[in-house]
Structure 1
Amino acid sequence: MGKKQLNVRVDATTAEMARERAEQQGISMNQYIERLVLQDMGETGLRFVDAAAQFMKEYESEFLAEFGDPVAPGDRQGGRR
């Protein structure tokens, strides 16, 4: 995958902290920023999955009433979820 250059402006203290953290981890500033973005996206994905699970937990009975149980009772392993 090709790289895309980004230019960002941060205050001097933030820039120095980022440089120090990258150095502590033995990676370049580019790698450090890329890791932060990927980490943030992973956390966002987890929050989405958690929110979707909570939504389904709250509204499961309404879905079952409207659409029925898509899994035949004998097909479940270990009983009801």
Structure 2
Amino acid sequence: MAKTQLNVRVDQATAETARERASQRGISVNRYIEELVRQDEGENGRAFVEAAADFMQRYEAVFDEESDTPAGPGESAR
């Protein structure tokens, strides 16, 4: 995958923390930041899926009422 340069400005304490954490893991600061972004992206994806599942569960009865074929216990209407 091609790499793109991204310049960011952070305060001195944040920069030192990033260097320390990267060093503790034996990776570059660049790699550390990449991993943080990927982790954040994964957490957002999981949060979306959990919210969608919660929505479906909360409104399952409404979906069943709108469907021509009512769902049986524990299954969704089609």
Which TM-score band (shorter chain)? 0.7 to 0.9
Cα distance between partner residues in 2 of 1:8 and 1:20: 18
Name the % identity: 59
Cα distance between partner residues in 2 of 1:27 and 1:70: 55
1:48 is aligned to 48
Aligned length, in residue pairs: 75
RMSD: 1.8
2:64 is aligned to 64
One-letter amino acid matched to 1:80: G
Does 2:16 match 1:16? yes
Does 2:4 match 1:4? yes
Does 2:37 match 1:37? yes
Q: Which runs of 5 or more residues in structure 1 are unaligned?
A: 74-78
1:28-77: per-residue Cα shift (whole Å, max 9, x none)?
Answer: 01100000000000000010011001100110011111124587x6xxxx
Cα distance between partner residues in 1 of 2:66 and 2:14: 53
Secondary structure in 1 aligned to 2:74? Answer: coil
Secondary structure in 1 aligned to 2:59? Answer: helix
Does 2:74 match 1:80? yes
